[in-house]
Structure 1
Amino acid sequence: MKKTILAAALAATMTAPAAFANEYVIDTEGAHAFVQFKISHLGYSYLLGRFNTFEGSFYYDEANPENASVNVTIDTRSVDSNHAERDRHLRSDDFLNVDENPQATFQSTGFEPDGNGGGLLTGDFTLNGVTHSIDFPITQVGAGEDPWGEMRRGFEGTLSFTLADYDITYNLGPDAEDIEIYLSIEGIRQ
């Protein structure tokens, strides 16, 4: 019995590094990752902003890219449009309703590789307490060893969605129904 338990533990230990070697933590500590947004303001200009606090991880194996996955949590209270009064309004129930929904999340459910390291990432995006499946086209920026001996991999992507789909209906003009999100992430392999 002891030999069986020892063999099972040894087998689990030997197979764990292979799976673990393809896990990456998004480098928010080193500020090598960004979640930014762009939306029309009354049709006269664009409002640009970002979320300063978020975390996440992703799995990516070059030999099996179809198994890629991503998990990201955004602190919506960290919204930053470079204007304190506007940011208070964005945090209100007119927009992000951070008292009720302090986080936005993305959990991937599938990945369709394009053969160049990127592809179409599908997943559940939750914002303002509402969840919808979205398709997020991503591009691999690069991968390799950094000057300190760590393996890094980076991706970027842009998508647009309709704010009303997430129960955000505040009127900013007819050109402000959709918002564009830009994501740039750099992960450190664990």
Structure 2
Amino acid sequence: MLQHLSLRRSAAILAMMLALPAAAVMLKTDPAKSNVAAVFKQMNVPVEAKFKKFTAQIDFDAAKPEASKASIEIDTTSLDLGDPEYNKEVQKKEWFNTAQYPKATFVSSTLKPGAAGKFDVAGRLTIKGKTADVSFPLTVKKEGNAQVFEGSLPIKRLTYNIGEGEWKDTSMVADEVLIKFRVVASQ
């Protein structure tokens, strides 16, 4: 009798598990193959700066992309403009104010299939204590056993108070910034 109840309970648990929808899978980011950069113009000359430290938590379900979630945390103190003096300058209050705001974050709210095999991502971006709703196209592709997430997010730096005081002048540093990323992750 006890064996019969145990077998029935196991069968019921298995049936419930099979009835549950497939869950998104938490992926582990490969920092050596991933990158995040900010591209902008200074005195009309393109500049690309890389963030050397960031973390990404990605729950991705290719079969049900709308169930997928992502959050990215970028260490703003790790921005590398290729010169130690410039790197110190952008940490100051007028720029990223890294003493008070050492991290920038993005948290997705929706991921939907879009045009040409891409996905449309929407979420909230927080930089320097300012949060705004953003959206951008995302490409997801397989590379060996990994998933590769690539995209570009255009923002306006002044929306986030990046460049205060005399640096609000967009003739020196353009307001338009393109955040480019390539995140490689696997199970």
Q: 1:102-121 maps to which residues of 2 (within 5 A)?
A: 102-114=102-114, 117-121=117-121
Asked if 1:181 corresponds to 2:185, the answer is no
Asked if 1:37 corresponds to 2:47, the answer is no
Deviation, 1:139, is 1.2
Q: 1:151-190 maps to which residues of 2 (within 5 A)?
A: 151-170=145-164, 171=167, 173-174=170-171, 176-189=174-187
Asked if 1:19 corresponds to 2:46, the answer is no
Deviation, 1:42, is 1.6
Q: 1:23-102 maps to which residues of 2 (within 5 A)?
A: 23-28=26-31, 31-43=32-44, 45-102=45-102
Which blocks of at least 5 consecutive residues in structure 1 are unaligned?
Answer: none
Residues 91-126 of structure 1: per-residue CA shift (max 9 Å, x gap) = 111111100000001100001212665311000111
Determine the C-alpha separation between the residues in 2 that align with 1:92 and 1:118.
Answer: 37
- Report how many aligned residue pairs link the two structures: 176
Distance change in 2, residues 1:165/1:115 (3 Å):
closer
Q: Is the 8 A contact 1:128 1:167 kept in 2?
A: yes
| TM-score normalised to structure 1 length | 0.81
Secondary structure at 2:33's aligned position in 1?
Answer: coil
Determine the C-alpha separation between the residues in 1 that align with 2:75 and 2:111.
Answer: 25
Determine the C-alpha separation between the residues in 2 that align with 1:97 and 1:53.
Answer: 17
| TM-score normalised to structure 2 length | 0.82
The two structures, once aligned, show a CA RMSD in angstroms of 2.8
Distance change in 2, residues 1:33/1:139 (3 Å):
same
- Greater Rg by CA: 2
Identity %: 24
